[in-house]
């Protein structure tokens, strides 16, 4: 299996968000304030929340849904700014951490353990955030599903803040194959393992990082897909989901849009 280039959007055999060992590594990555791995660095998150609160203030957009909220780094900051926050994530470990952290700080945040592709809310939220390029990790079909669900979730006049990787990222991506022995375990397994990693480029700006993890117990394979976007493609998908108005930035701190930025951020509005 690891010898072949997988079919487009072939999924990992295991849901790694809830794997006991991997979810622990993932949470540690989220909580590392100086690492851009699972969440962005805390200084970026602070600037991002400040910009969102200034441009879409809680006074006219009070109810906020943070989609793929992880351990609540954004959700807590939004709550402290005055929003009524619901955070939703499919990692049980992240949601448990987020709930404990909110309790410790006496923050009134609703956290929901759920697959965002299965969420079903109608006209409930004034503002939704879907941050750190998770949109591009979805297949074309699932991107259409999530954008329609978010549209349905929002009230008229409600806004979505969303970011994706741009073509800069796709153009820099190299098709390479590497292997490593992890004597004392590592990100993918607690036991000693050999990792075989292959990076592939696919048509339509899609990339794959495929990792085969070989331990004494067997072989597991993980696929991390990413679609990179031109502004035109992103806005086409947004308009197909029903969003009528948009603003464009380079990132979710509100930096002016340029084609050279590795990310594109949009604020989409449900206008009717
Ligand atoms: C790249 S992280 C970003 C986390 C957070 N937005 C941030 O910027 O700190 C993506 C998050 O989406 C969550 N996630 C991935 N697939 C999901 C799904 N189908 N339903 C709900 N959450 C999901 C992951 O557990 C993870 O916390």
All structural domains of the chain with their residue ranges:
16-166+229-269, 170-226
Q: Residue 1 has what pLDDT?
A: 57
Strand runs (DSSP E) across the chain, as ranges?
63-67, 84-89, 110-113, 125-130, 154-165, 177-182, 193-202, 206-215, 218-227, 245-249, 263-269
Q: Is the CB of 259 under 6 A from ligand 1?
A: no
Confidence tier at 4 by pLDDT (50, 70, 90)? confident
Confidence tier at 2 by pLDDT (50, 70, 90)? low
Q: Is the CB of 115 under 6 A from ligand 1?
A: yes
Output the residue whose Cα is nearest ligand 1's atom 11: 68
Q: Residue 13 has what pLDDT?
A: 76
Confidence tier at 58 by pLDDT (50, 70, 90)? very high
Q: Is the CB of 129 under 6 A from ligand 1?
A: no
Q: Using the mean position of ligand 1's atoms as its centre, give its distance from the Cα of residue 222 in Å.
A: 16
For residue 267, pLDDT over 70 is answered with: yes
Q: Using the mean position of ligand 1's atoms as its centre, give its distance from the Cα of residue 67 in Å.
A: 7
Q: Which atom of ligand 1 is the closest one to the Cα of 133?
A: 1
Q: Residue 15 has what pLDDT?
A: 75
Which CATH number, 3.40.50.1100, 3.40.1190.20, 1.10.3720.10, 3.40.50.150, labels domain 16-166+229-269? Answer: 3.40.50.150
pLDDT digits (tens, 9 = 90+) for 188-241: 999 999 999 999 999 999 999 999 999 999 999 999 999 999 999 999 999 999
Q: Residue 238 has what pLDDT?
A: 98
**pTM score, whole prediction:** 0.96
For residue 179, pLDDT over 80 is answered with: yes
Of 132, 140, 4, the closest CA to residue 73 belongs to 132
pLDDT digits (tens, 9 = 90+) for 124-178: 999 999 999 999 999 999 999 999 999 999 999 999 999 999 999 999 999 999 9
CA–CA distance, 68 with 94 (Å, rounded to integer): 10
């Amino acid at each position: 299996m690891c010898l072949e280039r997988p079919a487009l959007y072939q999924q990992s055999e295991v849901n790694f968000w809830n794997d006991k060992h991997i979810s622990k590594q993932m949470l540690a990555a989220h909580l590392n304030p100086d690492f851009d791995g699972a969440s962005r660095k805390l200084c970026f998150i602070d600037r991002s929340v400040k910009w969102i609160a200034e441009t879409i203030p809680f006074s006219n957009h009070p109810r906020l849904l943070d989609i793929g909220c992880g351990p609540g780094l954004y959700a807590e900051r939004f709550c402290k700014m005055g929003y009524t926050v619901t955070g939703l994530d499919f990692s049980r470990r992240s949601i448990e951490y987020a709930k404990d952290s909110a309790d410790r700080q006496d923050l009134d945040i609703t956290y929901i353990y759920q697959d965002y592709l299965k969420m079903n809310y109608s006209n409930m939220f004034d503002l939704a955030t879907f941050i750190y390029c998770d949109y591009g990790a979805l297949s074309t079909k699932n991107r259409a599903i999530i954008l329609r669900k978010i549209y349905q979730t929002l009230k008229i006049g409600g806004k979505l803040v969303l970011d994706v990787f741009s073509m800069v990222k796709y153009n820099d991506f190299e098709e390479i194959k590497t292997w490593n022995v992890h004597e004392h375990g590592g990100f993918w397994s607690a036991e000693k393992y050999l990792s075989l990693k292959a990076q592939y480029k696919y048509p339509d700006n899609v990339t794959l990082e495929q990792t085969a993890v070989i331990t004494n117990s067997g072989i597991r394979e993980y696929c991390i897909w990413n679609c990179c976007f031109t502004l035109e493609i992103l806005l086409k998908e947004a308009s197909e989901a029903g969003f009528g108005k948009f603003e464009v930035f380079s990132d979710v701190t509100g930096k002016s849009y340029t084609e050279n930025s590795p990310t594109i951020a949009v604020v989409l509005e449900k206008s009717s």
